Amino acid sequence: MLERVFLCPENLEEMMNNNLQFHPETLSVRAGSESTEYGENSEALFLNSSFRFKSAAQAAARFGGTEPGNIYSRFTNPTVTMFQNKLAALEGAEQCVATSSGMSAILACVMGLCSAGDHVVASRSIFGTSVQLFGNILKRWGLDVTFVSLTEPDEWKDAATAKTKLFFVETPSNPLTEVCDIRLLADIAHQAGAHLVVDNCFCTPAIQRPLALGADIVIHSATKYIDGQGRCLGGAVLGSKALMEPVYGFLRTAGVTMSAFNAWVFLKGLETLHVRMEAHAKSALALATWLEAQPQVSRVHYPGLKSHPQHTLAMSQQLSGGGIVTFEVKPTSGKTAQESAWALIDSTQLISITANLGDAKSTITHPATTTHSRVTPEARTAAGISDGLVRIAVGLEHIEDLKADLALLTS
């Protein structure tokens, strides 16, 4: 049995009352940590499926919820709990439910909080697989979904009905880094009797804390920046205990569970989250500024640039522009926009051609034929995803080496 809890969400209020207020960087390293009687300084990894009880009565109490403790790693595991508590402290959430992937986090959120016949309003500027989940799979199970513009508040007001349960957004969006006003959208959702869900994957709590801005639920793909080195899959749903109870209930039954090993990797990733995000954002801003000056680039999308349409808003709710830069490649030498984008991607030797992001290694992809390839051409056009669009997730390499790898743009 773990004997010591340090900085878990349950005792944060007590610590604040005692003037023990810790900075986010400290929470990244220390929050949620527990140790066994062996006194290990690094979180232990519990690679076991079940846990023993002292008696049949204790087993009954654990299963009945009258005694806290571990039961079965599908829904209780000490390493996963430590990850949940650390991330909850960083996001300022009462509870975190860890899941097997970012997509399973969205699924658990919706399945836990919605029923057939309920209505969800979602931004059309979301990850392509999220579009498929809302617009195809969940619709088949009786969920009504309306897609609207991320940046047009009136569309959200008009779309809401008496059956609307959730507003769902990514901000900044994937891949165009569009930004919505979280406070304003939260107010609109609450006036409609709905909850605002914010996918905070691009920023992480090191850059943006949606709950502090009025959102009700935060979603993460821990696979991305929380890991930081492209090793493991995982997701998380965070919010109040009342909202997380049905989400946890879905996970307990359906088993969309984070593995203990992955949770342990994510715990290590969170320790360096703030320094990594600062480095990603610094290089991303430098690359975005350089891209704006290149003759083969018609437009750059990056919230940290003053040319970004929501720059002022972004800088009011984010600490930086983040690590994702997208840009439009001009058609050249008789090539189509897609052919020109592909030529640039194929010319790189350092940057990895992969659709993942949040890695220490910079990655490059063509959204229209990868991350959003299953979205209809009409929906891609409505979301602003052109055939010439290229997305770079800026890693931790030297910025001059990244520029040199994109030399085709300077010709």
**pLDDT tens digits for range 222-268:** 999 999 999 999 999 999 999 999 999 999 999 999 999 999 999 99
Give pLDDT, residue 5: 35
> What are the extents of the domains in the chain?
4-271, 274-410
Q: d(Cα 140, Cα 158) in Å, to the nearest integer? A: 24
**Topology agreement, domain 4-271 and domain 274-410:** no
Q: What is the pLDDT of residues 66-106, one digit of tens each?
A: 999 999 999 999 999 999 999 999 999 999 999 999 999 99
* Residue 37 clears pLDDT 90, i.e. is over it: no
Q: Which CATH number fits domain 4-271: 3.30.420.40, 3.40.640.10, 3.40.50.2000, 3.60.10.10?
A: 3.40.640.10
* Residue 63 clears pLDDT 90, i.e. is over it: yes
Q: Is 395 left (phi over 0), alpha (psi -120 to 50) or beta?
A: beta
Give pLDDT, residue 322: 98
Give pLDDT, residue 380: 87
Which of these, 375, 379, 311, 326, lies nearest to 148 by C-alpha position?
379
CATH classification of 274-410 is 3.40.718.10, yes or no?
no
**Structure tokens that stand for 309 in this block:** 């349409």
Answer whether 364's CB lies under 8 Å from 340's CB: no
Q: What is the pLDDT of residues 376-391, one digit of tens each?
A: 888 888 888 999 999 9
Q: What is the pLDDT of residues 6-16, one digit of tens each?
A: 344 445 445 54
Answer whether 304's CB lies under 8 Å from 325's CB: no
pTM (2 decimals)?
0.93
Q: d(Cα 411, Cα 396) in Å, to the nearest integer? A: 25
Q: d(Cα 345, Cα 393) in Å, to the nearest integer? A: 13
